[in-house]
Amino acid sequence: MTERILGILQEAFTRILAASIQVTLPLTIIGFTLAMVIAMIMALVQYAKVPVLTQIARLYIWIFRGTPLLVQLFLAYFGLPKLGIVMDAFPCAVMVFALNEGAYCSETMRSALESVSEGQIEAGYCAGMNYLQIMWHVVLPQAFRTAFPPLSNSLISMLKDTSLAATITVADMFMAAQRVVGRTYEPLWVYIEVALVYLFFSTLLTILQRAGEKRLGFFTSKEVNTKKEVRA
């Protein structure tokens, strides 16, 4: 590796890192948080079988899971202005990622809610609890435990998928790399470099996921934790 390439990589690293802090991470965090809110609402509406809203949720999920993310991005950024709806690239990307991810995650959450056995809900009623009390103390904690690993996987996927936002002019990590490549004609090394930065962030998230699963896994483990405080 020549000194020239090392110089390019060093400069590119600063730009990639800046783009990650200014764009990729905010896009991921805001987009995913909104996706969780959307997913939670869509999942609960279906779980509680609320009429009309359930059908709306199904329609939304059907559309956003059935069409490519890239097409959704293009449609929102280049297509909607034809209807007079103009958005900046970043908020547009946040919206598309939130809606797309929300559709997938709502299915994860719905199946997690449904995986809590009917018998426990009946036992809750028999113990004198009402629907909301049962949801809060029994169903939601267990569903959260079940949904946590797949939702973490979704978050990691989304972090990587944000690179698609570069196609609608969002100046993310990948666009920062592309620009350096455009100037220097060093696609091999610079793209390896940006790949490694993505790898770093997804590894970090994987480690967090492991730690989270361990914390949440207490009630499914066979091991007895005698130190655990009692919180009823």
Partner 1 sequence: MSFFEVKDVKKTFGTNDVLLGIDLSVDKGDVIAVLGPSGSGKTTFLRCINFLEKATGGTMTFDGETFDLAHIKKKEIAKIRKKTGFVFQSYNLFLNKTALQNVMLGLTSGRKMKKEEAKKIAEEMLEKVGLKERMNYYPGQLSGGQQQRVAIARALATSPEIIYFDEPTSALDPELIGEVLSVMKQLASEGMTMLVVTHEINFARNVANKIVFMDGGHVLEAGPSKEFFENPKNARTKEFLNNITTQHET
By the criterion CB under 8 A, which residues form the site for partner 1? 117, 119-120, 122-130, 133, 137-138, 141-142, 145, 218-226, 228, 230-232
Nearer to partner 1 by Cβ, of 115 and 203: the residue is 115
Distance CA 24, CA 32 (A): 12
Nearest-approach distance from CB 219 to partner 1, in angstroms = 4
Report the interhelical angle of 53-66 vs 25-47 (nearest 10°).
140
Distance CA 219, CA 192 (A): 42
Nearest-approach distance from CB 225 to partner 1, in angstroms = 8
Q: Tokens 């293009």 correspond to what residue?
A: 74
Nearer to partner 1 by Cβ, of 30 and 129: the residue is 129
Distance CA 38, CA 55 (A): 15
Nearer to partner 1 by Cβ, of 50 and 188: the residue is 50
Nearest-approach distance from CB 125 to partner 1, in angstroms = 7
Question: What is the 3-state secondary structure of 118-176?
Answer: HHHHHHHHHCCCCHHHHHHHHHHHHHHHHHHHHHHHHHHHHHHHHHHHHHHCCCCHHHH
How far from 44 is each of 47, 61, 130, 203, CA to CA, in Å? Answer: 5, 14, 17, 31
Q: How many CA atoms lie less than 13 Å away from 213 in the CB half-sphere?
A: 14
Q: Tokens 């990589």 correspond to what residue?
A: 9
Structure tokens at 185: 């004609």
Nearest-approach distance from CB 210 to partner 1, in angstroms = 20
Nearest-approach distance from CB 47 to partner 1, in angstroms = 17
Nearest-approach distance from CB 145 to partner 1, in angstroms = 7
